[in-house]
Chain A
Amino acid sequence: MFHAFKLDDNEYDLGLSRAAQGYRLHLGDKTVPVELHPQDDGSALLHIDGVRRRVFIATRGDDVFVHLDGAAYHLRYEHPLARLSHQAHGSADDSVRAPMPGSVVAHHVKAGDSVSRDQSVLVIESMKMETTLVAPRDGVVAEIVYAVGQTFERDAVLLALAPVGE
């Protein structure tokens, strides 16, 4: 299994494989034997590379809190899929297009407004249903193409964001 952790803003890629006893930790080119033995008092014994240490571990969702040698660490588990997809979030559309034919019900912003990603900008109605459309990225609204009540076709540009860098 591949794992990624964030510790103090640094990201670490780790691999974990089963060993005869416990696991092997793969970190870069290094391979380190690890074992974790939970104890009755809530602590655990951690064996890393032959060294035995007493640790306290608590988890909340993807956050892992480790108490080790008098210091507390906050690790954040990052799913590889989430991490890789975040890296890919560079370019997003410059416009909001109609997912289906319909009419405009409401504008939540006007030309010149600054918007942030996922902020609701327009409400449209089609097939008896009101759908809220959101901004594809942070930016400034350049134009809202249709007035409230006007109808449009599928894929029509409903709202344009000013190009980045202008």
Chain B
Amino acid sequence: MNRIESRLNTQSAEFQANAEHNRRLAAEFREKQERARHARPQRDVERLAAQNKMPVRERIKLLLDPGTPFLEFSSLAANEAYDGDVPGAGCVTGIGIVSGREVVINAGDPSVKGGAWYPLTVKKTVRALDIAIENRLPVVHLCDSAGGFLPLQAELFADKYYAGRIFRNQCILSKMGVQQVAVVLGHCTAGGAYVPGLSDYNVIVRGTGAIFLAGPPLVKAATGEEVSVDELGGCDMHTSVSGTADYPASSEEEAIAIARDIVGQFKRPQKSAIEWLPPEAPLYDPAELYGILPRDIKQQFDMREVIARLVDGSRFHEYQPNYGKTLICGYAHLWGYKIGILANNGVLFNDSALKGAHFIELCNQNRTPILFLQNITGFMVGREYERRGITKDGAKMIMAVSCSEVPKFTVMCHGSFGAGNYGMSGRAFDSRFLFSWPQSQISVMGAEQAANTLADVKIRQLARQGKQLGEADIAAIREPVLGEFKRKQSAYWSTSEIWDDGILDPVDTRNALGICLSAALNTPILDPRYGIFRM
């Protein structure tokens, strides 16, 4: 494999200006992340201390093997929702190493509204368990939740992907032979009681841990029975009488140590064999990514320069370098693992879409996981392209993406607009993991285009009634649409709604993808099978 020869001039004013801009965006992202992780009202901090409870991140630190990485998902989930009052959606999820095994961690954060489940808490938890199912990763649940947030119960309780899905996913994991352990560190009430109940193993802390379908106040209201928390669902009752819990623990520290010992008993997975070479750092410094990404979302850049800063030795075997040049396809290694890359270098034309579909088939044929690097304004439009069948060629690419059996990974590097989002394995296309860079944008069309389209429709409507709109009236139609689009196409909105698995500082992308690749190989790669490619 040959090295990519960078054409980047790192001394140019353009590079320097981009670097300054993107470093600032990365710093802003880290600041937001820091706040979402650690800034809590004083009274919540004091309440937890009074209850003798550790903050969730200290619990996770005790759980993980020392010195090993933790890939946190969706750290800014719900940050644009609920007036920003539910940082991280009130839970912490991610992949970490416990007793030498890769596991998914699903931890409630009692410092946020007592760990209450908001609709986005449920979405984030379901997503973490979907990740466990898709990648056959054992799960450690650290349970400490006040239960569902009642004022929003209609948005978190009954639908297919609402709270019930958490428990359904737990059952499916167990059926698949993927093991789970729950540590009960607070009250697990009502639905929450099923998290330890459906785990293969569980541990409960004496004094603070409790499991029941209804807490003492609700029991009193329902039947008049007066009963204490401990009697109703405490550690000793459940571990010695009901058998709902397995291991008693006298402190959070002991409970977490027992959980580590339980994970140490789990069988180790047989990973799928794919091509592998000893890892090698990229030849070009990943920090130069900051100077590549343009300040303006409209500006094009060469995605080869990005690939050169992600992959081992900056080596890339480019497939069809002279055909469909707006889509770069080729093979590389990342942290040793062989991958296929599809990266946008412009609008998708007929030839680029065909090349993409063909390359996805090649990757499936030789069992090579695929990385999609998105910077796409869409498929080409216009009479000439429709006559050439741009829609059916795009359909071929979408068919190949949807039916691909090898693990897929997607990074939203810059723009992601229109059907290009689909062809490049957007969220709906089951990439095992999907991350966004801080400046990236996603929407069905550009903000300007949407505002103009809606203004045009209105102008023509009124023209039919013989009315004419003034400049001010047109602005009054355009401005709100523009504002709404801009807010909702930003990476922060996307990540708040959990359309991705988190925002990444571009320089962290290589490491994150390395962890994801390793995790994805726990699942066997099946033979590819496709639907009908419209020829």
* Chains A and B belong together in one complex: yes
Contact code string A98-122 (vs B, CB < 8 Å = 1, else 0): 0111000000000000000010000
Q: Counting CB contacts under 8 A, is A131 at the interface?
A: yes
- How far, in whole Å, are A128 and B377 apart by their CA atoms in the complex? 7
Per-residue CB contact flags for chain B residues 339-361 toward chain A (1 = under 8 Å, else 0) read 00000001101000000000000
CB distance A82 to B346 under 8 Å?
no
In contact, A99 and B325 (Cβ under 8 angstroms): yes
Check B347–A100 contact: CB distance below 8 A. Answer: yes
Query: Taking the complex as formed, is A11 at the interface, i.e. its CB lies under 8 A from any CB of chain B?
Result: no
- Would you call B3 and A62 a contact (CB within 8 A)? yes
Which residue of the partner chain, among B346, B448, B449, contacts A100 with CB atoms under 8 Å? B346
How far in angstroms is the closest Cβ of chain A from B391?
16
How close is B277's CB to chain A, nearest CB, in angstroms?
14
**Contact, CB under 8 Å: A128 / B298:** yes
A81 and B347 CA atoms in complex are apart in Å by 28
Q: What chain A residues lie within 8 Å of B346 (beta carbons)?
A: 99-100, 129, 131
21 chain-A/chain-B pairs, Cβ below 8 angstroms: A61-B283, A79-B3, A82-B3, A82-B5, A99-B346, A100-B346, A100-B347, A101-B382, A125-B298, A127-B378, A127-B380, A127-B381, A128-B298, A128-B417, A128-B446, A128-B449, A129-B299, A129-B300, A130-B298, A132-B299, A132-B300
B4 to chain A, nearest CB (A): 10
Does any Cβ of B come within 8 Å of A30's Cβ? no
Q: Produce 1/0 per residue, B1-28, CB < 8 A to A.
A: 0110101000000000000000000000
B7 A118 Cβ-Cβ under 8 A: yes
Bound together, the chains give a CA A81 to CA B3 distance in angstroms of 9
Verify A100–B349 contact, CB threshold 8 A: yes
Confirm or deny: B326 has a beta carbon within 8 angstroms of a beta carbon on chain A: yes
Q: Is A126 an interface residue (CB 8 A)?
A: yes
Q: Interface of chain B, helix or strand or loop or mixed?
A: loop
The residue of chain B having its C-beta at the shortest distance from the C-beta of A132 within the complex is B300
CB neighbours of B3 from chain A (8 A):
62, 79, 82
B2–A129 CB distance below 8 A: no
Question: How far is the CB of B396 from the nearest CB of chain A, in Å?
Answer: 20
**Are the CB atoms of A129 and B380 closer together than 8 Å?**
no
Residue of B nearest to A84 (CB): B2
Question: Taking the complex as formed, is B83 at the interface, i.e. its CB lies under 8 A from any CB of chain A?
Answer: no
Residues of A near B299 (CB, < 8 A) are 129-130, 132
Number of A-B contacts (CB under 8 A): 47
Cβ contact within 8 Å between B300 and A130: yes
A109-160: which have CB < 8 Å to B? 118, 125-132, 154
Contact call B298/A154, Cβ cutoff below 8 A: no
Within A37-51, the residues touching B (CB, 8 Å) are none
Q: Could you list which residues of chain B lie within 8 angstroms of chain A, going by C-beta atoms?
A: 2-3, 5, 7, 283, 296, 298-300, 325-326, 346-347, 349, 377-378, 380-382, 384, 415, 417, 446, 448-449
Residue of B nearest to A124 (CB): B300
Q: Are B283 and A100 in contact (CB under 8 A)?
A: no
Q: Are B347 and A129 interface neighbours, CB within 8 A?
A: yes
Rounded to whole angstroms, the CA-CA distance of A10 and B179 in the bound complex is 61
Q: Is the interface of A mostly helix, strand, loop or mixed?
A: loop
Residues of A close to B448: CB separation below 8 A: 128
> Is the CB–CB distance between B325 and A129 below 8 Å?
no
Contacting pair B347 A126 (CB below 8 A): yes
B380 touches A100 (CB 8 A): yes
Q: A99-B346, A127-B347, A128-B448 are in contact. List 14 more A-B contacts (CB 8 A).
A: A79-B2, A79-B3, A82-B5, A99-B325, A99-B326, A100-B346, A101-B382, A118-B7, A127-B377, A128-B377, A129-B298, A129-B299, A129-B346, A130-B299
Chain A residue at minimal CB-CB distance from B448: A128
CB-CB under 8 A from A127, the residues of chain B are 347, 377-378, 380-381
A126 nearest in chain B by CB position? B347
Q: How far is the CB of A2 from chain B (nearest CB, A)?
A: 13
Q: Closest residue of chain A to B301, judged by CB?
A: A132
Chain A residue, CB-CB nearest to B7: A118
Partner of B300, one of A61, A79, A118, A131: A131
**Across-interface contacts of B7 in A (CB, < 8 A):** 118
Name the residue on A nearest B284 (C-beta). A61
Chain A neighbourhood of B377, CB < 8 A: 127-129
B2: min CB distance to chain A, Å: 4
Assuming the contacts A79-B3, A82-B5, asked whether A130 and B296 have C-beta atoms less than 8 A apart, the reply is: yes
Given the complex, which residues of A lie within 8 Å of B296, measured CB to CB?
Answer: 130
A129 cross-chain contacts in B, Cβ below 8 A: 298-300, 346-347, 377, 415
Closest CB pairs A-B (n = 5):
A81-B2, A131-B300, A79-B2, A127-B347, A128-B446
Docked Cα-Cα span, A99 to B326, in Å, equals 9
List B contacts of A101 (CB < 8 A). Answer: 382
Name the B residues within 8 Å of A62 (CB-CB): 3, 283
CB distance from B453 to the nearest CB of A (A): 13
A82 with B2: CB separation less than 8 A: yes
Distance in angstroms between the alpha carbons of A31 and B157 in the assembled complex: 75
A83 nearest in chain B by CB position: B2
Chain B CB within 10 Å — which of A101, A118, A126, A129 has the most?
A129
The distance in angstroms between the C-alpha atoms of A126 and B7, with both chains bound, is: 24
In the complex, the chain A residue whose C-beta lies closest to that of B382 is A101
In the complex, A135 Cα to B321 Cα: how many Å?
18
C-alpha gap A93/B296 in the complex (Å): 30
A134 to B424, CA, bound (A): 27
Query: What residues on A are CB-neighbors of B446 within 8 Å?
Result: 128
Q: Report A-chain residues with C-beta under 8 Å of the C-beta of B380.
A: 100, 127
A81 to B1 alpha-carbon distance, docked (Å)? 8
CB-CB under 8 A from B326, the residues of chain A are 99
B337 to chain A, nearest CB (A): 21
Question: CA A99 – CA B324 in complex, angstroms?
Answer: 10
Which residue from chain B places its CB closest to the CB of A99 in the assembled complex?
A: B346
Provide the residues of chain B in CB contact with A99, threshold 8 Å: 325-326, 346
| Given contacts A62-B3, A82-B5, A100-B346, A154 and B300 within 8 Å (CB-CB) | no
